[in-house]
A and B are shown apart, each in its own frame.
Chain A
């Protein structure tokens, strides 16, 4: 028998409906995201995949309310029962960082070069937790850095972003995010700029954190092998529109759309040389 509690449990963490993003141009509005629908289940991991120009990054910026100036967003974005499109900027800022955290491809662009990483983690924490002293926040920062296995965290906490490697900077971003205990993590190409061994460490770290905290994940990437390992539900995008969506297993074993099949055929497999890679156009 269905109870009210069951219904609540079945409610998705994030429900996006008819999301459209348009930019005005001299020739009229150009839609870069076209009437997109998707859900992120509580504790679920959604992958949004597509090639360049597919609109996948614009989708994540639209959810966060961080679209570039001039962009017009329509549709509904319901996060844990709150309609985000109805929030004023001040309220939206409180949601960002506190309840929804973001990781980008280039952590340097999200870190301030003039402050130590410890200060930045601590201040981010203090801005969302009232009555926390600097000393307490610093302890939280060190603990978060230890948690993401930055060795010698008590010393490294006083270092500046440029003193860290790309992989270590991404750990700093994850540490910052961890101290917020977000309900949803939006990661846009978080490992694209990283070496493959470092990528594996960061993906493992994300999986571990999700297992511990139950946070949902939206992973935006061009890398089909990465989404196949990390996510349980996949949205395939092309030219701003949804191509198809389904469970990861369904998308990879029984894709319905020719574009999805082409993408899967084009991915080089490390375990196999597959004659001629199949592509959209006839190779001469």
Chain B
């Protein structure tokens, strides 16, 4: 690789067709191609953001890669193995190496299970021992994602949306994955909470060195977290590139249109605010020193 990073995941010519609900006339099933010849790669330790609008196929692509659904055709190679042909123990192992964090933390966490049970479940599923015991293990993970370890016996409903999303992240971390698929993982959060979770996701990657496949429709969020960006439209990837290239010098017309449509706080207002805040801090320092 040009930047020295190895390829962890390589998807080639992925296709996923669904039976179209409007078809079926004369007994012929119409097919709808949700993912149409998608090729992408995720390198070790990087964040590949897959962006697009609703119906672009980005979430279906993520579900194919997570093997939550089967491909119609194409190949997915992860860490040297062909994911499509994995069965039994090998598929089990793959599901440990690739974890998914979903958009709605409440619906993806069992409401009747305590945090401890939720967070240790992937280890039990993998039939792995829990290092140091469930209580200590859960407590340590909760601390790493910024939750109070004393709350390990609580249920999801007892946490705020941002905290519940941290539980989902802790669960993903439990099996030390090589890749985390974040499917709109910060989209449902209030802006102040969203910022905290973005900071957390970045810090965890710095510490652990795993990769993210980051599925998102919010381009401003993607700018904060991506190493590289792939833009999807109508089932196809229309542009892939390093983050700054895609944002600052997009090549594809659809990418340009998408970027132009994003509402922006005027940069000159941000600049004025920074000047005003610097002046305020200056004033406060002088007053304090008097």
- Please list the residues of chain A having a beta carbon within 8 angstroms of any beta carbon in chain B: 51-52, 195-197, 199-200, 203, 222-226, 228-229, 249, 252-255, 261-274, 276-281, 283-284
Contacts and interface: CB of A to CB of B under 8 A. Distances in A.
Contacts of B260: 200
A266 B221 contact: no
Nearest to B54: A195
Interface residues of B, number: 39
Nearest to B268: A253
Contacts of A254: 272-273, 276
Interface string B264-275: 111101101100
B191 A270 contact: no
Nearest to A267: B191
Given A195-B54, A253-B269, A281 B196 contact: yes
Contact of A229 (B198, B220, B263, B272): B263
A225 B265 contact: yes
A253 B272 contact: yes
Contacts of B262: 196, 225, 270
Contact of B192 (A51, A196, A252): A51
A284 B194 contact: no
B270 A269 contact: yes
Nearest to A225: B263
A263 to B, nearest CB: 6
* Most central of A222, A276, A278 by chain B CB within 10 Å: A276
Given A195-B54, A196-B219, A279-B192, A268 B198 contact: yes
B231 to A, nearest CB: 12
A267 B217 CA distance: 15
Contacts of A276: 199
B224 A273 contact: yes
Contacts of A271: 223, 247, 264, 267
Contacts of B25: none
Interface in B218-247: 218-221, 223-224, 247
A249 B269 CA distance: 7
Contact of A268 (B143, B200, B221, B266): B221
A276 B225 CA distance: 10
A268 B196 CA distance: 11
Given A200-B260, A200-B263, A270-B262, 6 more contacts: A195-B54, A203-B263, A222-B191, A225-B264, A276-B199, A284-B143
Q: Tell which of B247, B260, B262, B263 has the most Cβ of chain A within 10 Å.
A: B263
A3 B182 CA distance: 62
A268 B195 contact: yes
A131 to B, nearest CB: 43
Contacts of A253: 269, 272-273, 276
Interface string B185-198: 00000111011101
A279 B224 contact: no
Contact of A272 (B192, B223, B257): B223
Contact of A277 (B195, B217, B259, B264): B195
A34 B201 CA distance: 36
Contacts of B221: 268
A51 B272 CA distance: 24
Contacts of B218: 268
B53 to A, nearest CB: 4
Nearest to B223: A270
Interface string B110-151: 000000000000000000000000000000000100100000
A226 B224 contact: no
A278 B195 contact: yes
B68 interface: no
Given A270-B223, A270-B247, A277-B195, A197 B258 contact: yes
